[in-house]
Structure 1
Amino acid sequence: MTRYSTLLFILLIISNVVWGIKFDLAATPSNIVARKCISQYVSTGTLVVVTIKVGFGYNQRVDVEITDNSSAHNEYGRKRDIDGETRMPFTTHTDADVSVCFTNTLDDEFRPDPKYHRTIDLDIDVGAEAIDYNALAKAEKLKPIEAELRKLEQVVQEIVDEMEYLRRREARMRDTNESTNERVKWFSLGSVFVLLGLGGWQILYLKKFFQKKRLID
């Protein structure tokens, strides 16, 4: 019973983790593109909710763009001139690092100055944390304990999916290592046979050369 209680406690801690960051974004002229990007790895098919709170700042325009670093360069959202609180939900298309990039453009009639900046409060909720369980409980008329159990079920499923992903990755790495070892083995054997062939050819060549010069019989 104690073991299950400990596991439940750990899952509750995991489920309450929220990844967030707060920083000041300096304003730059329109002819200078200065992007500040925050990245996080997210697996495929995962619900992500990006919540952005932009502080007050006059004569400045904050734009945001959300993409990943996969070969397809998927774009999950783009907004211009955001102000106050903005929520951008999406579901990832592939395993990749998802980047939330900001630019703060200063109006053309103003000169750059350290006083021109806006405070960005960024929260990235991934998987179970991205689901609004209060709305879900109201929609499905769930009791508080049922809603919490639904949340724990989602967290456990994410852990299982992550373990399965790690297992597949380990299998790919093992296959790559075995393939590399096989290639090295055949390359080494080929090198030995080539060296033996060259050695035999050199012996025969030198023997014929010395016989031609009548240095040996």
Structure 2
Amino acid sequence: MVSLQHSGRTPWLRVRLVPQSWAILLCTILLLLRPSPTKAIKFSLQSYRYPPQKCIWNPAHSDALVIVTANVGPGAGQRVDVEIVDSSPQKNKYLSKKGINGETRLAITTHTDGEVGVCFRNYLDSCKVSSVPPSEQTKITSRIIDLDVDIGADAVDYNAIANQESLSGLEVEMRKLEGVVKEIVDEMGYLEEREQRFSNTNISTNQRVQNFAWFTIFALAALGVWQIFHLRAFFKRKYLID
């Protein structure tokens, strides 16, 4: 709100922010300063008869929404398969899809903390490629993939939520801020859990080192006592001492 006040000769402007303006300003600053977990990458995927797997990994927390958008370029005689896995000891496989073309949108919810991998394989159909002139074969043995990975709050479609619940602009920003705060809290909890696990590992390692040190001291002391009695008995047998 802008108010105009007169003080004697010269008028001056005084800008007064209402509480809603402060809330919008705070939301904007937090949204601009937070690191975005959105990952976008564009790469060329070479095709083979028995292709290796190419994976793109992104960190994610447990129960996080992950939206994968893959735009696969054209390529005759090639078939691109995709699957989404994680780096947990269980090696969870969330989904697998064969023969994707054009824009493909996939959504999963993670089970554990760790990294989520989007893995591609580009299979080469030798029968179709053999019908292409040799000068053109090098151009069709790869496909361009444009990959976007949205994790957590960035994966939520707030426009759809706003239309469904008839939310105002401020309410939408507050929803976004709520999602950001939740991610920060989850991140802090995950870091605290890791710190506790590392602390327990350090305490356990320190205790083992102390136990080994005491064992070494007692072993050396026992060995020294045994050597003294052994040498005394030996010298007595040789009549070197009484």
Normalising by structure 1, we get a TM-score of 0.91
The aligned counterpart of 1:181 is: 206
Q: Verify: 1:115 aligned to 2:139, yes or no.
A: yes
Q: 1:171 Cα shift?
A: 1.2
In structure 2, the CA distance between the partners of 1:115 and 1:141, relative to structure 1 (3 Å rule), is same
User: Pairwise mapping of residues 87-106 of structure 1 onto structure 2 (< 5 A)?
Assistant: 87-106=105-124
Q: 1:9 Cα shift?
A: 1.2
Q: Deviations over 1:40-75 (max 9, x none)?
A: 121111110011111122221111011112111111
User: Aligned partners of 2:88 and 2:27: how far apart in 1?
Assistant: 35
SS at match of 2:171: helix
The aligned counterpart of 1:213 is: 238
Structure 2 residue identity aligned to 1:102: F
Q: 1:7 Cα shift?
A: 7.5
Q: 1:17 Cα shift?
A: 5.6
User: Pairwise mapping of residues 11-26 of structure 1 onto structure 2 (< 5 A)?
Assistant: 11-14=31-34, 18-26=38-46
Structure 2 residue identity aligned to 1:89: A
Contact 1:15 1:152 in 2 (8 A): no
SS at match of 1:78: strand
Q: 1:8 Cα shift?
A: 4.5
User: Aligned partners of 1:8 and 1:178: how far apart in 2?
Assistant: 43
SS at match of 2:122: strand
SS at match of 2:71: strand
Q: 1:11 Cα shift?
A: 2.7
Contact 1:69 1:97 in 2 (8 A): yes
In structure 2, the CA distance between the partners of 1:16 and 1:192, relative to structure 1 (3 Å rule), is closer
4+ residue segments displaced more than 3 Å = 3-8
Structure 2 residue identity aligned to 1:55: G
User: Aligned partners of 1:133 and 1:7: how far apart in 2?
Assistant: 15
User: Aligned partners of 1:108 and 1:114: how far apart in 2?
Assistant: 13
The aligned counterpart of 1:62 is: 80
In structure 2, the CA distance between the partners of 1:78 and 1:45, relative to structure 1 (3 Å rule), is same
Contact 2:27 2:174 in 1 (8 A): no
Q: Give unpaired runs (5+ residues) of structure 2.
A: 1-16
SS at match of 1:64: strand
Q: 1:13 Cα shift?
A: 4.3
Q: 1:10 Cα shift?
A: 3.7
Q: 2:157 aligns with which of 114, 129, 132?
A: 132
User: Aligned partners of 1:215 and 1:11: how far apart in 2?
Assistant: 89
Q: 2:170 aligns with which of 145, 159, 162?
A: 145
Normalising by structure 2, we get a TM-score of 0.82
Larger-gyration structure (1/2): 2
Contact 1:12 1:152 in 2 (8 A): no
Over the matched positions of the two proteins, sequence identity in percent amounts to 49
For these two proteins, the number of residue pairs brought into alignment is 214
Q: Deviations over 1:138-185 (max 9, x none)?
A: 111111221121011101110111011101111111111111111111
Greater CA deviation, 15-24 or 85-94? 15-24
